[in-house]
Amino acid sequence: MSASIALIPGNRQAYEAPSTREPIWVKGGLIAIALTFFAIFLLLPLATVFSEALRKGWGAYAAALIEDDAWSAIRLTVLAAAVAVPLNLVFGVAASWAIAKFEFAGKRVLITLIDLPFSVSPVISGLIYVLMFGAQGWFGPWLHAHDIKIVFALPGIVLATVFVTFPFVARELIPLMEAQGSEEEEAAVVLGASAWQMFRYTTLPSIKWGLLYGVILCNARAMGEFGAVSVVSGHIRGQTNTMPLHVEILYNEYNYAAAFAVASLLALLAIVTLGLKTLVERQTRRQTHEKSTLTGE
């Protein structure tokens, strides 16, 4: 602690209190501002989704969810995420292994390129696939001649979803693996572990929480993506509508209760995502704490 306190023995509170703390009205005011902003900007939208969804009662709520078009939208959303998330998971592990465990030229450039999909508007993310595979696109005539549909069909939706969720897993893993260093893996290799054994028994246990978090975020975005998917989907009801697109159609038809009913499922997904995130953060903190007490750092 600072020496100034030792100069005034027994008078620590009186000395420190006015100097490094805000007056009580500042503190109270700041908390009040934050809580008000929180209530209006974050809590109210969330509460609105559920109250509007249940406005016409549970019967109407359930009916809106088991209706054919809603059900096919749910299936399509799950299918798109089921393809996009594993693809980006494998990529994320490969990219973070190469980037975090090795030193090579051009590393910064590679990281910037991996982050690129985050800085592109979702609408432009959809547009690029229309430009490639659409009727007037690069491969358009060829695809048409072979009767393959990509844009306004399932493959386009999957491609757009893969693009917008591309960086999530890599982004979580790169800083985590960089912080952990590679001593444990080097020890495993020196002791004769095969590449797979090294990964399975040293790398995977220490990155599992970060990996899980990346997958959760990736999945949430995959299921909730609207702009990119909207451009490539073609909005064919019951066929190429994902859940967010179905919400849009119902809302534009003034069918608010049904729109919010489908939206409430997506809001639940968001709440589960945030809950898991909080849990994972707690686990990582415990893990790093255990590690630092073990090594005496």
Partner 1 sequence: MAPLKRYSPLPGFSLAMGYTLVYLTLVVLIPLTAVGAKTMTLGWEAFWAAVGNPRVVASYQLSFGASLAAAAINVVFGMVFAWVLVRYRFPGKGLVDALVDLPFALPTAVAGIALATIYAENGPVGGVLRSFDIQIAYTPNGVLLALVFIGLPFVVRTVQPVLADLEKEVEEAAAALGASRGQTFIRVILPHIAPALLTGFAMAFARAVGEYGSVIFIAGNVPMVSEIAPLMIITKLEQYDYAGATAVASVMLIISFLLLLLINALQGRMQQRQTSEA
Residue 174 beta carbon to partner 1: minimum distance, rounded to whole angstroms: 11
Q: Which of residues 10 and 220 has its CB atom nearest to partner 1 in the complex?
A: 220
Contact 165, 222 (CB under 8 A): yes
The one-letter code for the residue type at 273 is T
Of the candidates 100, 257, 73, which has an alpha carbon nearest to the alpha carbon of residue 172?
100
How far apart CA 67 and CA 257 sit, in angstroms, is 13
Q: Which of residues 63 and 132 has its CB atom nearest to partner 1 in the complex?
A: 132
Residue 280 beta carbon to partner 1: minimum distance, rounded to whole angstroms: 12
Q: Which of residues 63 and 120 has its CB atom nearest to partner 1 in the complex?
A: 120
Number of Cβ within a 10 Å radius of residue 72? 17
Residue 146 beta carbon to partner 1: minimum distance, rounded to whole angstroms: 20
Q: Which of residues 20 and 293 has its CB atom nearest to partner 1 in the complex?
A: 20
What's the length of the chain?
Answer: 297
Cβ contacts of residue 254 below 8 Å, gap of 6+? none
Residue 95 beta carbon to partner 1: minimum distance, rounded to whole angstroms: 4
Of the candidates 190, 212, 188, which has an alpha carbon nearest to the alpha carbon of residue 199?
188
Q: Which of residues 23 and 296 has its CB atom nearest to partner 1 in the complex?
A: 23
